[in-house]
């Protein structure tokens, strides 16, 4: 697996920043954007989408993930995440919540590179293995032939 160049990482961050502009956040006013890069180089973006009933809220990372998977893309190498309150320039790192870590682990595995950015010039990176050590994934579901078949496709 080839690692992204600095320029490619910065482009991914710019795409996450652009996606953040669509955040639907009337309840928290906290706008998040994500850009998920597939193994084949395609990028799927997402924003957080809140809901009056709160529970149905989707984080930006899962919005991007589900867009990709619903388009038949299931293997990923990198994700860029940006988040900050409306009207603020990114002053803080936003790291994926626990639910998103689990959702991403399903498809990105422990190797997924997570880029947490303030700006294209100010970011940190961690592997999913660092964010979700001993993650529970498809291979842990013993005897699940469907999972094995999926891998062979
Ligand atoms: N949020 C994300 O979209 N991604 C994260 O990783 C952290 C939290 C959203 C959920 C909610 O809409 C808002 O940020 C405040 O929690």
pLDDT of residue 144: 59
Domain ranges in the chain? 6-152
Bridge partners of 35, per DSSP, are 45, 80
Does ligand 1 come within 6 angstroms of the Cβ of 59? yes
State in Å: Cα 125 to ligand 1 middle. Answer: 18
Number of C-alpha atoms within 13 angstroms, CB side, residue 74?
9
Does ligand 1 come within 6 angstroms of the Cβ of 99? no
> What residue spans of the chain are helical by DSSP H?
6-20, 60-70, 98-108, 128-131, 145-152
71 carries an active-site annotation: no
Q: Using CA positions, which residue lies closest to atom 2 of ligand 1? A: 59
- Helix (H, G, I), strand (E, B), or coil: what is residue 109? coil
pLDDT of residue 138: 95
Superfamily the domain 6-152 falls into: Cytidine Deaminase, domain 2 (3.40.140.10)
The catalytic residue among 61, 71, 88, 106 is: 61
Q: Considering the entire predicted model, what is its pTM? A: 0.92
Does ligand 1 come within 6 angstroms of the Cβ of 66? no
pLDDT over 70 percentage in the chain: 92
Does ligand 1 come within 6 angstroms of the Cβ of 60? yes
Task: List, for residues 12-36, the tens digit of each pLDDT value.
Answer: 999 999 999 999 999 999 999 999 9
């Amino acid at each position: 697996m080839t690692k992204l160049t600095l320029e490619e990482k910065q482009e991914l961050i710019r795409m996450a920043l652009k996606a953040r502009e669509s955040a639907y956040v009337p309840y928290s006013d906290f706008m998040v954007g994500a850009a998920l890069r597939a193994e084949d180089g395609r990028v799927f973006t997402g924003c957080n989408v809140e809901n009056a009933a709160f529970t149905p809220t989707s984080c930006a990372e899962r919005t991007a993930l589900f867009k990709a998977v619903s388009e038949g893309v299931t293997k990923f190498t990198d994700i860029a995440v940006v988040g900050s309150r409306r009207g603020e320039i990114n002053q803080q790192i936003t790291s994926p919540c626990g639910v998103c870590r689990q959702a991403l682990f399903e498809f990105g595995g422990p190797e997924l590179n997570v880029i947490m950015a303030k700006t294209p010039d100010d970011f940190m990176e961690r592997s999913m293995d660092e964010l979700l050590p001993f993650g529970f994934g498809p291979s842990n579901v013993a005897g699940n032939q469907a999972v094995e078949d999926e891998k062979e496709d």
